[in-house]
């Protein structure tokens, strides 16, 4: 007799959701750090370095996230390191996030008017101070809607960890669905749980985008 979808099953989904959130946070923080480096390399002014970071971004934007995850997952296994499944998928999502956030922030850095950089140079500020105190604070403001948009993408993307076998929300849904034979109910609930995570962020992002658009009209 198959169990029905009840509180214990819902509790299992909730624990899966915790892993989804944790995986997203780790990948986002890691991706922000590496992405900032990529964005700075991409705008540094050195032809070769810019070309390299451009290829890096192009590879991650031109291939499916699922395949990137496979390559990192099986590639890390080849190195002989005995890594936990969580660590392996977290690394996969982090490198993906670094490329996408790098490209978003590249655009934001270049959207800051050139006069700002020139004025900072005329004042004798060196590169670090120019970026840290003048360009980046303005670029971050410009990039916020797109960054939040990518965060939503990332939450949805972590569902692909289910395919390599890591138990997060989507995989937990598959397991419960196989136990209860109630796939529609289970995947409906799983979808609703993702929606609860993503929708407030989407709403916040589009509201901020509208506000920024108003500000730039003035």
Partner 1 sequence: MGYTLDFSVVWHAMPALLWGCAGTLGLALAGMTLAMIIGVAGVAARDSKAAWLRAVVIGFVEIVRNTPFLVQIFFLFFALPLVGLKLNPTVTAIIALGVNGGAYAIEIIRGGVQSIHKGQVEAGYALGLHKGQVFRFIVLKPALRAIYPSLTGQFIMLTLTSSICSAVSAYELTSVAQRIESDTFRSFEVYFSVTFLYLAISWLLMLSFALISHRFLSYPTR
Contact between 213 and partner 1 (CB under 8 A)?
A: no
Instruction: Please choose, out of 2-10, 25-33, 121-129, 170-178, the segment that lies near partner 1 by the rule CB under 8 A.
Output: 170-178
Instruction: Please choose, out of 26-34, 68-76, 85-93, 125-133, the segment that lies near partner 1 by the rule CB under 8 A.
Output: 68-76
Q: Among 3, 137, 165, 188, which residue sits at the site for partner 1 (rule: CB under 8 A)?
A: 188
Contact between 67 and partner 1 (CB under 8 A)?
A: yes
Contact between 85 and partner 1 (CB under 8 A)?
A: no
Contact between 74 and partner 1 (CB under 8 A)?
A: yes
Rg (CA), the chain: 21
Which CB sits closer to partner 1, 102 or 120? 102
Which CB sits closer to partner 1, 96 or 143? 96
| Residues 122-161, interacting with partner 1 (CB under 8 A) | 152, 156-157, 159-160
Supply 26's token pair.
Answer: 């780790």
Question: Applying CB under 8 A, which residues contact partner 1?
Answer: 59, 62-68, 70-71, 74-75, 77-78, 80, 152, 156-157, 159-160, 162-163, 170, 173-174, 177, 183-184, 187-188, 190-191, 194-195, 198-199, 202
């Amino acid at each position: 007799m198959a169990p029905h979808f009840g509180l214990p099953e819902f509790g299992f989904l909730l624990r899966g959701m915790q892993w989804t959130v944790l995986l997203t946070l780790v990948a986002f923080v890691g991706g922000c750090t590496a992405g900032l480096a990529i964005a700075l390399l991409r705008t540094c002014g050195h032809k070769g370095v810019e070309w390299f970071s451009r290829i890096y971004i192009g590879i991650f934007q031109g291939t499916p996230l699922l395949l990137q995850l496979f390559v990192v997952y099986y590639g890390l296994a080849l190195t002989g390191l005995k890594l936990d499944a969580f660590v392996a998928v977290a690394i996969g999502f982090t490198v993906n996030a670094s490329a996408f956030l790098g490209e978003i922030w590249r655009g934001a850095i270049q959207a800051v008017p050139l006069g700002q950089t020139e004025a900072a140079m005329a004042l004798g500020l060196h590169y670090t101070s120019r970026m840290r105190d003048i360009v980046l604070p303005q670029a971050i403001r410009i990039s916020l809607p797109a960054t939040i948009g990518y965060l939503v993408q990332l939450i949805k993307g972590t569902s692909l960890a289910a395919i390599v076998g890591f138990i997060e929300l989507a995989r937990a849904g598959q397991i419960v669905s196989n136990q209860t034979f109630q796939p529609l109910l289970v995947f409906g609930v799983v979808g609703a749980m993702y929606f609860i995570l993503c929708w407030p962020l989407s709403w916040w992002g589009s509201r901020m985008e509208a506000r920024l658009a108003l500000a730039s009209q003035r």
